[in-house]
Chains A and B, each alone.
Chain A
Amino acid sequence: MTEHIEDPVRFIDERTSAAPLLRKSMRYLFPDHWSFLLGEVALYSFIVLIATGVYLALFFDPSTAKTVYHGPYTPLDGQQMSAAYKSVLDISFSYKAGLLIRQTHHWAADVFVASIVMHLMRVFFTGAFRKPRELTWLIGLVLLFTAFLEGYLGYSLVDDLLSGMGLAIGYGVGLSLPVIGGPLVLAIFGAPFPGKGVFWSRMYIAHVFLIPMLLATLIGVHLALVMARHHTQFKETSRHTQRRIVGVPLFPGQAPRSLALMFFVVGILFLLGGLIQINPIWQWGPFEPWLGTNGAQPDWYLGWLIGALRLMPSFDVTIGHYTLIPNPFWGGILFPLFVLGVLASFPWLERKLTRDHEVHNLADRPRHAPSRTAFGVAFLAWVFLIFAFGAADRLFVLFGLSYNTQLYVFRIGIWIVPAVLFFVTRRLCHGLQAADLAEARHGAALAEAERRRAAVGTGLESRGP
């Protein structure tokens, strides 16, 4: 068996001189902790997105040319619609396995963004963003926000009623950008909303080529930076130190584990795509600018933006009769930029506040950084409450909670709840630390008693306080 490996290894090394790099990579160490897998889930979802996306691109027609639908989905038979929407109906009904691939693609997008957010939370609460990993953190954030845009363009391309409503909002939000809003949306859409046909080919090339290339590049750089600095690790034993990493080598230990995770992710995504319906576009019908429907919701990862747009009081900045800053700017542009800004500057902010300029290869347990953990929980709660309000109309339908009451409760709650959570979390962290300390003392006392008993040869264990 091994004889067969010698030849290719020699062939590759003699031609690429890559043996030292390969040798080193094979024994690259991965600290063993479940929470480190979240980023990998995102990576494998991305691979599924590329694979299913290539398949969809072979059938999708990015054209707004009007056509009449005649196909197996009879409720829309004879309906006038764009070629884009028709081709997605065909993918769903006329090509075998087309619906499976489309739904898997959509599920993979939702899981992709979800796992990035979970990964971000893990990195935040363990302080893994600290020196020397700030660049990895920044690239991860850019990745996340690029993923938002990529997902938005993805479901906008379909040209069903919901995607059209989403585009209208995107147009309104773009238009609200002070000074350059008008020229900007005219440049992007090619004409006032709904824009020229050329807008669809722009959106298409962005969704299937430009942004995926950007995402792939960012993922590559992100991983290269992780490799260059190694993972952080928890201080599990005295061997885990600031200077020495303890872990499982890529080969043979980590490779089968990671591949197993990849197959599990792919398998679950295909099961979701097969068994759980997502975005049944045929139910929404084609979009026209004068059409709208109640209870419209975007994909989950844009829920925080619709929440912010809905929560914002009626308020434009005006001088006399002239609008300077229209309302959608607050929820649609300022809010996400503020969240991005806070997260992006956090490594430097924390360094300034704690005056800690050291290199950190050891990950914190959240309880050991009470202020950071408390801030993280409060900030997360703030964003999550705004996100939750995006579904207020659904909460009304489901539970009969008056939309109006919810509006005022949320307008106050988004400020009070995070503030309360900040103090509660900090207190909880201190409490947990104290409990750890007491337990450690108890353990030390037991050991001491054991030592004495061994020395004296008799005696009973006395439990500490």
Chain B
Amino acid sequence: MRVWRWLVAIATFLFGRRVRQERKRAKQREKRQEAEAKDPIVAQGSPERGAENLVVALLGIASLFALGFVVVYALFSPAGIPNELLGICLGMCFLFVGGALTVVAKRLVVTEELEDDYPEAHPGQQKEIVEIVRESGSRITRKRLLLGAGAATAGAVGLAAITPALSLGPIWDTAPLDQTPWRRGVRLVDEDGNPLSANGVAAGTFYTAFPEGANNEEIGSSLIVVRLDPSKLKLPASRANWAPGGILAFSKICTHAGCAVALYRKPTFPVIEPKPALVCPCHYSTFDPYTGGDVIYGPAGRPLPQLPLMVDDAGDLRAAGNFSARVGPSWWNVREAPTSE
């Protein structure tokens, strides 16, 4: 019996205390809520059950679209999956969530219009910053020397830090910009490596040719080849033999910005397009094949480099030398006019 009494006493002590504490806390909370209700931070408004229902409905529709996305993804094979349906599911899902949030913003959350100060400058603290910096140097006598040494070191360290960047490319050696695979005797081939025969070059169209056995992707490789009436050519005297049978070859890379000169303007209406011309589709630089690639229209600043041609014993076209000028877009120091090679 005694033990039982003791147990009751301990239980009362323990749990009674907890109950007491909880009551105390509840009272405090009530007090705080009362105080909050009297002076709320956020303005209070009346409830709107209709808007709450609307939000739930909109979120429900959004969820349906999200699930729809999952279903579409699961049902179709990669080849047959309709992109439009996927986009509609995902897009509408997000739009309905946005709609729900709009209802929250417009009808469930109180609209407060509050005022606040724009921040001002702090002249006092500005002064103190300057003072701290100034007073921190009280033991230093030769400030300029130290600053100079610091700056010089920063420069040296910076130089060392950026030096590895020199390995990014052949920065000092710009010779590759000028090199082409064309030499005297190199045969012209098409994209599949078949030789281009002089007889196979027809007038009124253009051919793309490459140096046999070289890398087609090199900027100095690709040629645009056309056949014109030899009697109408007005090539410079030094290029008199460059166009056997009226066949001319030019670098296919525009001297303006490096696009492929991939259009051959074959006049269909001679009044405004007096004669055939080579056109770059990027910025419409237009080159005159009759005069050896001179710019007749558009922004290019120098002629399209011409490649001298010859016909070998088998009747195939071969280079009779290198280009008349550097190929590719112009840059600092590029020779503008062709030189006699």
B-binding residues in A (CB < 8 A): 27, 29, 32, 72, 93-97, 99-100, 103-104, 165, 168-169, 171-173, 175-183, 186-194, 228-230, 239, 242-249, 252-253, 256-257, 259-264, 266-275, 288-296, 306, 309-310, 312-316, 318, 321-328, 331-332, 361, 393, 402-404
Contact = CB atoms under 8 A, between A and B. Distances in A.
Interface string B115-139: 1111100000000000000000000
B148 interface: no
Contact of B78 (A95, A171, A230, A247): A95
B86 to A, nearest CB: 5
Given A93-B78, A260-B102, 19 more contacts: A175-B329, A229-B119, A257-B105, A268-B95, A271-B87, A273-B87, A274-B85, A274-B88, A290-B221, A290-B222, A290-B253, A292-B261, A292-B282, A309-B283, A309-B299, A314-B285, A323-B334, A327-B256, A393-B284
A289 B219 CA distance: 7
A266 B99 CA distance: 12
A306 B282 CA distance: 8
Given A165-B259, A267-B91, A271-B88, A314 B295 contact: yes
Interface residues of B, number: 92
A393 B110 CA distance: 54
Given A270-B94, A314-B299, A245 B281 contact: no
Interface string B72-105: 0100101101011111101111111111011011
A352 B118 CA distance: 25
Contacts of B85: 274
Interface in B242-262: 252-254, 256-262
Interface of B: 41-42, 73, 76, 78-79, 81, 83-88, 90-99, 101-102, 104-105, 109-119, 165-166, 168-172, 174, 176-177, 208, 210, 216-219, 221-222, 252-254, 256-263, 272, 280-285, 295, 297-302, 328-337, 339
Contact of A264 (B95, B174, B298): B95
Nearest to B252: A290
A100 B261 contact: no
B299 A312 contact: yes
A93 B83 CA distance: 10
A93 B79 contact: yes
A95 to B, nearest CB: 6
24 contacts: A72-B79, A99-B83, A168-B259, A175-B329, A175-B330, A178-B332, A186-B169, A186-B176, A190-B169, A192-B328, A239-B115, A252-B42, A257-B102, A260-B104, A290-B253, A291-B262, A292-B263, A294-B263, A294-B281, A309-B256, A309-B282, A321-B335, A323-B301, A323-B334
Contact of B258 (A172, A312, A393): A172
From DSSP, what is the main secondary structure of chain B's interface residues? loop
A296 B281 contact: yes
Contacts of A252: 42, 109-110
A384 to B, nearest CB: 19
Given A252-B110, A289-B222, A313-B299, A179 B332 contact: yes
Contacts of B94: 263-264, 266-267, 270
Given A249-B114, A323-B302, A327-B301, A275 B84 contact: yes
Contacts of B81: 96-97
B253 A189 contact: no
Contact of A97 (B86, B118, B263): B86
A323 B101 contact: no
Nearest to A327: B301
A309 B258 CA distance: 13
B114 A27 contact: yes
A93 B151 CA distance: 57
Contacts of B282: 165, 168-169, 292, 296, 306, 309
Contact of B111 (A192, A248, A306): A248
B260 A274 contact: no
B329 A183 contact: no
A292 B104 contact: no
A394 to B, nearest CB: 12
A269 B170 CA distance: 43
A260 B105 contact: yes
Contact of A310 (B166, B283, B331, B333): B283
A253 B105 contact: yes
Given A72-B78, A94-B78, A293-B281, A100 B87 contact: yes
